[in-house]
Amino acid sequence: MSFSGGHHEGLLGMTQSWHDNVAHISRTNDSIAVGSASVTTRQAFIQFDRFWAGHVAYLARRLSTIKEGNGTMLDNTLMVWGVESGTNHNHSPRDMQYLLIGGRNLGIKTGQYLKLPSTQSSNKLLTSIMNAFGIQDQTFGDGSATGPLPELMV
């Protein structure tokens, strides 16, 4: 879909940079033009999130209708949607949120919301995903966090 600094000029009729004019200031009531409407940066951020969420949901629904092996293509696929900016839009590694869709046949516990009791490295999530795809290792990335997230796997 893009990278963290993707500017998305033209998306939803925006003539300005999404990243510079919405993503980092979306907690304000500053006004910005989206198409022919003037909305707050918060409203623009919500519109962009809904736009991308609609595309992610469409793909998940399509994958869930395709029979594959002992389930559907979604059961054998893992979609990962996340951002690297946490909830405060400053690229801090705190409060990271990830949405995992599918992966039932990969050993992912589905249908749950995890709110971990303490801060965890996203490398543990990535180690879990790597393990789900058959690469058995205990680290991912810089190796500062070891092991998968046990709450995520069957």
Query: In whole angstroms, how far apart are CA 45 and each of 28, 36, 41, 149?
Result: 11, 16, 6, 30
> Cα(47)–Cα(51) distance, rounded to whole angstroms?
6
The phi, psi pair for 71, rounded to 5°, reads 180, -140
What is the predicted pLDDT for the residue at 133?
92
Residue 13 has pLDDT above 80, yes or no: no
Whole-prediction pTM value?
A: 0.79
What is the predicted pLDDT for the residue at 87?
60
